[in-house]
Amino acid sequence: MVQTDYYELLGVSRDADGATIKSAYRRLAKQYHPDRHGGCKENEAKFKAVNEAYDCLKDPQKRAAYDRFGKAAFENGGPGHDPFGGGNPDFSDIFSSIFGDFMDGQRGGRGRGGNVGRGSDLRYDLDLTLEEAFAGSEKTITVNALATCEPCEGNGSRGSSVPQTCQSCGGAGRVRAQQGFFLVERTCATCQGSGQTVSDPCPACDGEGRSLKKRKINVNIPAGVDEGTRIRVAGEGEAGVRGSPSGDLYLFIHMKRHPIFHRDGTTLIAECPVSFTTAALGGEISVPGVDGEKIEIRIPAGTQSGETIRRRGAGMSVLQGRGRGDMVARILVETPTKLSKEQKDLLCQFRETETGDECPQAKSFFSRIAGLFDK
């Protein structure tokens, strides 16, 4: 391969525009094309060099890298290695390495290596009754997860020995490496990001500073939580490696079925069956509220099945707010199925007195269809 400056090879100045570079490339490519010279090795080498130069200078990113670093911009681990020509580099991996510590810091990382070595987050699915969700509650849950090792108090060393500063990263927990013209920072493989190494590991935790343990955690559930509510309990996840920060505990709320109420946000809905006489004549029914207080619901005379009656402020608590939602009673008029002879006789007497005006919807319907039978 001909080794020379790309600009000199194409015969253009360093400030040449894209059109000038393209024109020079076409002229030289035509001049040195192997088909024109019967397999001349020297011209074939020049043709390849011209293509290499044009491939770099036609791309703004590659050209900027070349202008700054020369061919070293495309060398990583040996001569001739071209991360651009051999397939584009994975910029997502590069930028993840560069900005990983910053993003970890945004999530609450602390200590020498940010969130490097940080313990894993835990998930716990918690079932609640409607009453517990309404009032809020304190729950004690049991988790089986990695916790700080008690014999070594989390430093990972046996007895009186203490961890030493990692020689690979100088205690930073991160190591840097040149990747093309990027300076990439990664977790130190020697110390796993903790910045320290253990020469005499604790036998209880094998030098990790944490071990599996069952523990109880008290958690506060705010009033008004609903199905799918997620509650973060900071620092109650798994312990980190050798004193690194612990992860967080996430509670996912699930609601148990209630015998009376169906919940829709802060609204509680109860389906209330009533007798047809109560619906016709009016009356009152009582429903036990979610707060334990009795709710009186007045049924107006002539109430139809499916109608709703709303009681303001008798619903669920508002999460992280004040006040309560509403309670809605959906009235279901029940037709009697077991009647005594006396009751049947009374209903027959009632039917004999009907004029049709008692049930205007039924009267209207049958009036509309009456003419259809004559067709």
Answer whether 209's CB lies under 8 Å from 239's CB.
Answer: yes
Write out the binding residues: 149, 152, 166, 169, 188, 191, 202, 205
Write out the binding residues for Zn(2+): 149, 152, 166, 169, 188, 191, 202, 205
Instruction: Count other C-beta atoms under 10 Å from residue 6's C-beta.
Output: 23
Answer whether 141's CB lies under 8 Å from 217's CB.
Answer: yes
Beta strands in the chain (DSSP E): 122-128, 137-148, 164-165, 174-179, 182-187, 196-197, 210-221, 230-233, 249-255, 261-264, 267-275, 283-288, 294-299, 308-311, 327-334
Q: In whole angstroms, what separates CA 250 from the centre of its chain?
A: 12
Spatial CA neighbour of 165 closest among 134, 144, 188? 188
Q: Taking the CA atoms of 154, 157, 160 and 166 in sequence, report the sign of the dihedral they define.
A: negative
Q: Taking the CA atoms of 219, 224, 228 and 230 in sequence, report the sign of the dihedral they define.
A: negative
